[in-house]
């Protein structure tokens, strides 16, 4: 399916004006891209995560359609969608961590406790906290990290979403990776995989 950016922009503006049918007509046009984003996010999650890519899309889309954003274009929509998906996953990670602290206590036999899968909630929360700190230092570089690492967007796509040059995206990415690597090394409990090049 070829995406007509003009049609997407028209529907986004209609959503902005409160047209309830616009959100329903928009979803099929952007679903494939949202699904790719969701799959990219979910690859970095723990194996036993209860949220699936389709549920992540639905949750994010409900938040997108319900908010009063001043939509610019398709790239802006995808950029905001990536940010909201990150927020959804961070909310789930916090809830999961709260449960692990005793929110849903149950007796676990020693042998059963040894079979618990590797949990990546701490990694998600640590990276989210680092990105939040980094946003205060350089918000554009933090946005590049969010779109590249979480969203799986190419450098060219990020340049389109942020309306900056490809050269600027590459420079921001290189500098942001250095900052994040240094920042995340401070927590020995977190074993984040290597950031994509």
Nearest to 89 by CA among 132, 58, 45, 54: 45
Q: How far apart are CA 192 and CA 51, in angstroms?
A: 20
- DSSP H or E stretch at residue 59: helix 53-66
CA 124 to chain centre: 10
Q: Domain extents for the chain?
A: 5-104+112-184
Q: Pick the residue with more confidence: 14 or 110?
A: 14
The pair phi, psi for residue 171, each rounded to 5°, is: -65, -45
Token pair for 7: 């049609």
Nearest to 120 by CA among 49, 37, 29, 19: 49
In tens, the pLDDT along 26-85 reads: 888 888 888 887 877 777 665 656 677 788 888 888 887 766 677 777 777 888 888 888
Rounded percentage of the chain residues whose pLDDT exceeds 90? 11
In this predicted structure, what is the pLDDT of residue 188?
60
Q: Identify the burial level of 106 via C-beta atoms within 10 angstroms of its C-beta, where 0-12 means exposed, 13-18 middle and 19 or more buried.
A: exposed
Q: How far apart are CA 143 and CA 158, in angstroms?
A: 9
Q: What is the pTM of this model?
A: 0.58
In tens, the pLDDT along 123-156 reads: 777 778 888 899 999 999 998 988 887 777 789 9
């Amino acid at each position: 399916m070829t995406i007509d950016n003009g049609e997407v922009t028209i529907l986004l503006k209609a959503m902005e004006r409160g047209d309830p049918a616009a959100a329903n007509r928009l979803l099929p046009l952007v679903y494939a891209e949202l699904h790719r984003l969701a799959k990219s996010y979910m690859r970095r999650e723990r194996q036993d995560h209860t949220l699936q890519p389709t549920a992540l899309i639905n949750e994010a889309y409900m938040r997108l359609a319900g908010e009063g954003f001043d939509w610019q274009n398709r790239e802006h929509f995808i950029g905001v969608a990536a940010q909201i998906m990150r927020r959804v996953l961070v909310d789930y990670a916090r809830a999961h961590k709260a449960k692990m602290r005793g929110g849903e206590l149950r007796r676990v036999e020693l042998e059963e406790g040894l079979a618990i899968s590797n949990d990546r909630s701490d990694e998600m929360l640590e990276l989210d906290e680092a990105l939040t700190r980094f946003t205060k230092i350089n918000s554009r570089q933090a946005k590049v990290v969010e779109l590249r690492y979480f969203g799986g967007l190419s450098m060219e796509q990020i340049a389109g979403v942020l309306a900056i040059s490809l050269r600027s995206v590459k420079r921001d990415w290189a500098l942001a990776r250095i900052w994040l690597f240094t920042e995340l090394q401070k927590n020995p409990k977190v074993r984040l995989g290597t950031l994509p090049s």
